[in-house]
Each structure stands twice: as C-alpha cells, then as structure tokens.
Amino acid sequence: MITAQNTNHFTDTDNAPLLLSNIAQGNEQAMELFFKSHQGRVLAYAKSRLHHYEDALEVVNEVMFEVWRSAKRFKNESKVSTWLISIAHHKVVDKIRKLQRTQAEPFNEQSVDEDQISGPDSLGSDALLERYQDQQLVKLAMQTLNQEQQQVMYLSFYKGLGYPEIAKILGCPEGTVKTRVMHAKRKIKTGIERMNQY
C-alpha cells in the first residue's frame, strides 16, 4: 500500500482519492502530482468565470492550497472532480465579490473558444461560419441569464456534470438545479429567437 512514507511509486496515473489520502498525511509529492493532474480543470473553470487570466491563476493557487489544507475532509462520497470544482466554485465566487468591491467590474460570461467552433475538416467554410454564428448567439443569450442560471448551465453543458453533482457543488437541492436549468433554457431560447428576428 502506498502511504505518505512510501511515495516513490506515484505516477501521474494514480487515482485521485489515493493522492488525497496521502496529501492528508502531509505528503508533498502527492500534492505535486495532484496539482499537475488537476490544475487544468480548475484553471478552465476559473477562466470561464473571471475577466483576467491572472485572476484565474490566483484562484487555482487558492484552490490547491485549500486541497492541501482540507484533503483529510474528503470522504470519498462524491467524485474528486465534484469536490474540487465545488472548492473552485466557492473560491471564484469569493474572487468575484472581491473584484466587484474593488473594481466594480461586471461579471464575465462563458467565452467561446476556438476549439468549440472548429469542426471536422469535412465542414466547409459556410458551415463553420454558421456554427460560429450560432455559438455567438448562444453566448449573447447566456449574458441575459442571472449568475445562478449561468452557473448551472456552465456546469451542466460545458462541464457535462449531472444534476446531483451540480447540486453538491452549489450546495442546493437537485430540484433547484433542475428548475434553474429549465428557466435558463427558456431564456436562452427566447433570446436567440429575438436575435434571429434582426
């Protein structure tokens, strides 16, 4: 069994619960491997919610510090990714509040990146342009959602999480998540229909 005293066998493919168990025992090598394995997911989440890349990097560091401090509280009752995104969610909310107090900047919506609009090589330029325009309409319609609706839509559609996982991350009942998604979908549909009229 790999323990805090015997970590020479760790590789990047070790499972996250085992790493967390070793982090809880103060194992720095386990923390380093956990960081390398999960920083990308946390950074992607933070970047999707914040204006500046530097702010997102700061959130990653805060999340990983929290993992170091609270690994012993992970009970393996949910996926590590759910637990981690939950921590990231709270750190992002804290960061947004701090930025709003100091800069009074509006909340940044989910951006559409180039990977999301690029398709198979067989798509012609007209099809790619139409796909890009559709995604731009969705992005604009997402801006009409309140923050709670944006969160559930991001976690559901961009991260592919199920309602139970989203409920754990946001700390609300699963029914509330379903209701927010339903209202958000209606609002997006209405927004796109209005934009298509122009």
Task: List, for residues 55-74, the tens digit of each pLDDT value.
Answer: 888 999 899 999 999 999 88
Contact call for residues 99 and 105 (beta carbons, < 8 A): yes
Same domain for 100 and 13: yes
Same domain for 132 and 95: no
- The band of 169, judged by pLDDT with boundaries at 50, 70 and 90, is confident
**Eight-class DSSP state of 71:** G
Residue at 155 is within a domain: yes
Same domain for 95 and 13: yes
pLDDT for 149 equals 85
Same domain for 179 and 97: no
157: pLDDT strictly greater than 90: no
Same domain for 127 and 93: no
- CATH number, residue 191: 1.10.10.10
Candidate from 1-5, 28-32, 191-195 with smallest mean pLDDT: 1-5
**Eight-class DSSP state of 149:** H
Q: How many domains does the chain have?
A: 2
Tokens in use for 187?
């609002």
pLDDT for 12 equals 38
3-state secondary structure of 69: helix
Same domain for 67 and 40: yes
**Among the three residues 74, 108, 142, which one is the final residue of a domain in this structure?**
108
Amino acid at site 77: E
Distance from C-alpha of 44 to C-alpha of 48, rounded to nearest angstrom: 6
3-state secondary structure of 3: strand
pLDDT for 168 equals 87
pLDDT for 134 equals 63
Same domain for 133 and 100: no
Contact call for residues 19 and 4 (beta carbons, < 8 A): no
pLDDT for 107 equals 41
Same domain for 27 and 68: yes
Question: What stretches of 4-109 show up as alpha helix (H) in DSSP?
Answer: 16-24, 28-49, 53-70, 80-103
**Among the three residues 108, 135, 154, which one is the final residue of a domain in this structure?**
108
Q: Which residues contact 126 (CB under 8 A, 6 or more apart)?
A: none
pLDDT for 40 equals 92
Where in the sequence is the domain holding 136, given as residue range(s)?
A: 120-198
Same domain for 91 and 9: yes
Tokens in use for 157?
């559609």
pLDDT for 141 equals 75
1: pLDDT strictly greater than 80: no
- CATH number, residue 103: 1.10.1740.10
Residue-wise pLDDT for 96-155, tens only, equals 888 777 654 344 434 434 333 333 333 444 554 555 556 666 777 777 888 888 888 888
Same domain for 73 and 34: yes
More confident residue, 128 or 193: 193
pLDDT for 62 equals 92
Quick one: average pLDDT of 35-56?
88
For residue 14, count CB atoms less than 10 angstroms from its CB and return exposed for 0-12, middle for 13-18, buried for 19 or more: middle
Residue at 197 is within a domain: yes
28: pLDDT strictly greater than 70: yes
Tokens in use for 71?
């690994």
Question: pTM for the whole thing?
Answer: 0.53
Residue at 161 is within a domain: yes
Residue at 113 is within a domain: no
